[in-house]
Structure 1
Amino acid sequence: MQKAGMSVPWSMHRNTCVCLRQNGSGIMQIRELRAEDVPAVARIEAEVFSEPWTERDFFEMVEADYAHYYVAEEAGEIIGYCGLRNMAGEGEITNVAVAPLFRRKGTGRRLMEYLLKKAPSCGIGDCTLEVRAGNSKAISLYESLGFRTEGIRPGFYAKPREDALIMWKRQEEQG
């Protein structure tokens, strides 16, 4: 099935999304994070972020009723993940990461599209996230998905010191 505005065929079945890669290199599956995925997710987290979450943090998200975390898997390997927390009906997107070897292949976009599609069924309306002000690739992705910068947290990130942009995707803009 081809979704409007998307360049790659994908289909959703129950709690899984199956996507064909743009270059035809393989099939990526997006599904809920499970406890056995946590070590791989924590490894990617440590590779990607200067202040990474721990395995314990991710195990807590697996168990939390208010948390909704998803992984991208290709050929049995976890290649990315994302998650959000339901905070009184608003979605706080806490983590979005793709393993370095799998970047620039649409993985992050697919994860975010899936997350945003699932949000209403999780009781979530508006969604927010924070991103480093200098992370232009992530900012471009989020803007292309309908997020808009609504605030700045000066010096929010410590390693290295950098401002955070606060971005929102309002429910009336979700599609």
Structure 2
Amino acid sequence: MAQLETVNIRPMTISDIDQVMIVEHSAFDVPWSRNAFENELVNNHFAAYFVAEYGQKIIAYCGVWVIVDEAHITNLAVLDGYRGNKVGETLLRKVMLYARAKGARTVSLEVRVGNDIAKNLYRKLGFRSGGIRKNYYSNNGEDALVMWVRL
């Protein structure tokens, strides 16, 4: 299992997308496409993505948009088999520090209302409930809980 001291967090590059797609498919029923990640890295000047590496293997990634003084977490995923080792927490803390350094005062995200593990992580990092987006997830119509934190 991954130990915090052996996980390296760094900015995502185009050459990481193949490994990121493995993480994406392990984490989500409706995964983003390769083109979506390429577009985020190349064309979206508000976006920044980070990966967590264990050895030469990407085991997690997180994306954020920073627009003026607000940041929005686009996605956070940890590869099956590496969950429960604080990799997601460490990665999200790094992304929050990045957003703050870029001038963000708040960070928001959406999470499935039924994803208690993720909601507990976000609450641990200071996120609070801010509302519900009805039928947000296209694969099953599940609602999303919007969560916010002040940096």
Is TM > 0.5 for Structure 1 vs Structure 2?
yes
Query: How many residues are matched?
Result: 149
Return the alpha-carbon distance in structure 2 between the equivalents of residues 38 and 124 of structure 1.
26
Return the alpha-carbon distance in structure 2 between the equivalents of residues 54 and 133 of structure 1.
24
Post-superposition shift, 1:87?
2.8
- TM-score normalised by L of structure 1: 0.81
In structure 1, list runs of 5 or more residues that go unmatched.
1-19
Post-superposition shift, 1:116?
0.7
Return the alpha-carbon distance in structure 2 between the equivalents of residues 122 and 70 of structure 1.
15
Aligned to 1:17: none
Which whole-Å deviations, capped at 9, do the CAs of 1:84-142 have from their partners, x for residues lacking one? 01233311100100000100011000001101111122232211000000000000000
Within the candidate set 21, 25, 45, 2:3 is matched to: 21
Within the candidate set 125, 133, 150, 1:145 is matched to: 125
What is the aligned-residue identity percentage? 36
Return the alpha-carbon distance in structure 1 between the equivalents of residues 81 and 132 of structure 2.
31
Residue 38 (str. 1) matches residue 38 (str. 2): no
> What pairs up with 1:11-160 in 2 under 5 angstroms?
21=3, 27-63=6-42, 64-160=44-140
In structure 2, list runs of 5 or more residues that go unmatched.
none
SS of aligned partner of 1:86: strand
Larger mean Cα displacement after TM superposition, 135-144 or 48-57: 48-57
Return the alpha-carbon distance in structure 2 between the equivalents of residues 118 and 49 of structure 1.
25
SS of aligned partner of 2:136: strand
Query: Over aligned residue pairs, what C-alpha RMSD do you find?
Result: 1.4
Greater than 4 Å deviation, 4+ residue runs:
none
Return the alpha-carbon distance in structure 1 between the equivalents of residues 82 and 61 of structure 2.
12
Return the alpha-carbon distance in structure 2 between the equivalents of residues 121 and 148 of structure 1.
21
Asked which structure has the greater RCO (Cα within 8 Å, sep 6+), the reply is: 2
- Quick check: which has more Rg, 1 or 2? 1
Post-superposition shift, 1:161?
2.1
Larger mean Cα displacement after TM superposition, 42-51 or 139-148: 42-51
Which has a greater percent of strand?
A: 1
Aligned to 1:5: none
